[in-house]
C-alpha cells in the first residue's frame, strides 16, 4: 500500500461504511450481524428515479436509517467519528486523498483484480465472455482499484448468468469474505499481479444491439440488461434471448429469430416502446410485421 497512507489495524472494531446501491447492503448487514460497530454510513445523495418522482434515498441509506445509524453525504464526515477503519463497497465516488491520509480503509470489489478495475466490473466480465470472476477485499489507494489484496474468492459465470444474478451472488460472497477478512486479521496483503483491465461505466450506446456481431456476443449484451434496438424507428427493448444455431441475414427477423454474423438470436421477452414487457411471440403476432422485417432501422 502507498507508504503515505495509514494501514488498517489488524482487527478493527469500529467501521465507517461507505456504500450506495443494493449490492452494498449485504455487506453492511453482515458487518452488523458479526458484531462490528458502525457509527456512521456515508452514501450518495438522494436522487430522482424519474422526472416526476420525488428524490429517494440509496438502498444503503434506507437500510441504515431504518436501523438507526446516522447517514451523511459528506465524505469528510467520516473523520468526525471515532472509527478504526473505513469500509467501501460500491460507494460511487473515489475517496478523497485527504480522507485516506487520516482514516485507513479497505474496499470490497466485485472482480478478480487486477482484471476489471473500475465502475462496471460485473457487466464488463459478462460482455467479455469471462467464465470466472469473484470478489476481492483490498486496501484502498488514491488510484482506482490498485490496492493490495487481503482476500479473494472466485465464482463461475455460466453462459446464461445475467448481470443482476451475478451482482447478487457477488454481493453475498463479498459480504462473507469481508467479515472473514476482518475477523481473521488484516495482515500481509498481496500486491495485485497480472494484466490490468478497465471496467468502464456502461453507457446506453454499449447496449445498442449491433446485428453484425455474433449471436453469442449479442446475448451477452442482453444478459447485462437494458439492451435495445429499433423497429421502424420505434424503440424495442430486449430483455431475454437465446442463441440458436443457423444462419440468417444480420438484423432480419424470421418470426422470433434474428440473423447475426454467426448463428441466430431468438427473441424471448421484449418491450415495445410505450408498452410493458411481453413474450416475443405476442409482440410479433400483434405487430403484423411483414416478411423479412429488419431490426435496427
Q: Would you state the pLDDT for residue 54?
A: 82
**How far, in Å, CA of 208 to CA of 83, rounded?**
45
Q: Which residues pair with 40 in a beta bridge?
A: 16
Q: Would you state the pLDDT for residue 48?
A: 76
User: What's the residue count for the chain?
Assistant: 297
Are residues 230 and 186 in contact, defined by beta-carbon separation less than 8 angstroms?
A: no
Smallest Cα–Cα separation from 86: which of 44, 41, 43, 46?
41
Q: Would you state the pLDDT for residue 1?
A: 43
DSSP 8-state secondary structure symbol assigned to residue 148: P
Q: Would you state the pLDDT for residue 80?
A: 96
Going from the N-terminus, what domains does the chain have, and what CATH number goes with each?
Answer: 14-199 (3.40.50.170), 204-294 (3.10.25.10)
Q: Would you state the pLDDT for residue 290?
A: 64
DSSP string, 180-220: HHHHH----PBPP-S---EEPPP-GGGGB--TTS-HHHHHH
Ranges of residues in the chain whose predicted pLDDT is under 50: 1-2
**How far, in Å, CA of 38 to CA of 57, rounded?**
19
Q: Would you state the pLDDT for residue 247?
A: 85
DSSP 8-state secondary structure symbol assigned to residue 23: G
**pLDDT digits over 114-139, tens only?**
999 999 999 999 999 999 999 999 99
Instruction: Determine if residue 269 is left, alpha or beta; phi over 0 gives left, psi from -120 to 50 gives alpha, anything else beta.
Output: beta
**Prediction pTM value:** 0.94
Q: Would you state the pLDDT for residue 3?
A: 53
Smallest Cα–Cα separation from 209: which of 193, 191, 225?
225
Amino acid at each position: 500500500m502507498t507508504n503515505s497512507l495509514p494501514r488498517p489495524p489488524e482487527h478493527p472494531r469500529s467501521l465507517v461504511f461507505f456504500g450506495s446501491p443494493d449490492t452494498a447492503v449485504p455487506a453492511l448487514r453482515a458487518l452488523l450481524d458479526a458484531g462490528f460497530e458502525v457509527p456512521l454510513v456515508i452514501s450518495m445523495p438522494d436522487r430522482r428515479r424519474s422526472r416526476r418522482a420525488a428524490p429517494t434515498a440509496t438502498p444503503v441509506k434506507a437500510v441504515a436509517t431504518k436501523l438507526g445509524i446516522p447517514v451523511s453525504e459528506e465524505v469528510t464526515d467520516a473523520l468526525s467519528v471515532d472509527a478504526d477503519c473505513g469500509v467501501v463497497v460500491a460507494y460511487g465516488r473515489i475517496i478523497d486523498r485527504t480522507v485516506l491520509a487520516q482514516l485507513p480503509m479497505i474496499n470490497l470489489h466485485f472482480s478478480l483484480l487486477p482484471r476489471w478495475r473500475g465502475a462496471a466490473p460485473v457487466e464488463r466480465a459478462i460482455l467479455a465472455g469471462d467464465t470466472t470472476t469473484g470478489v476481492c477485499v483490498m486496501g484502498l489507494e488514491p488510484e482506482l482499484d490498485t490496492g493490495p489484496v487481503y482476500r479473494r474468492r472466485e465464482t463461475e459465470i455460466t453462459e446464461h448468468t445475467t448481470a443482476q444474478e451475478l451482482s447478487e451472488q457477488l454481493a453475498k460472497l463479498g459480504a462473507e469474505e469481508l467479515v472473514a477478512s476482518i475477523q481473521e486479521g488484516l495482515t500481509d496483503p498481496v500486491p495485485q499481479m497480472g494484466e490490468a483491465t478497465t471496467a468502464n461505466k456502461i453507457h446506453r450506446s454499449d447496449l445498442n444491439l449491433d446485428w453484425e456481431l455474433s449471436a453469442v456476443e449479442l446475448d451477452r449484451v442482453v444478459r447485462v440488461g437494458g439492451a435495445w434496438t429499433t423497429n421502424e424507428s420505434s424503440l424495442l427493448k430486449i430483455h431475454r434471448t437465446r442463441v440458436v444455431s443457423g444462419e440468417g441475414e444480420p438484423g432480419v427477423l424470421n418470426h422470433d429469430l434474428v440473423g447475426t454474423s454467426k448463428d441466430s438470436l431468438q427473441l424471448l421477452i421484449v418491450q415495445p416502446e410505450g408498452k410493458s414487457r411481453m413474450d416475443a411471440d405476442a409482440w410479433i403476432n400483434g405487430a403484423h410485421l411483414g416478411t423479412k422485417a429488419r431490426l435496427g432501422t
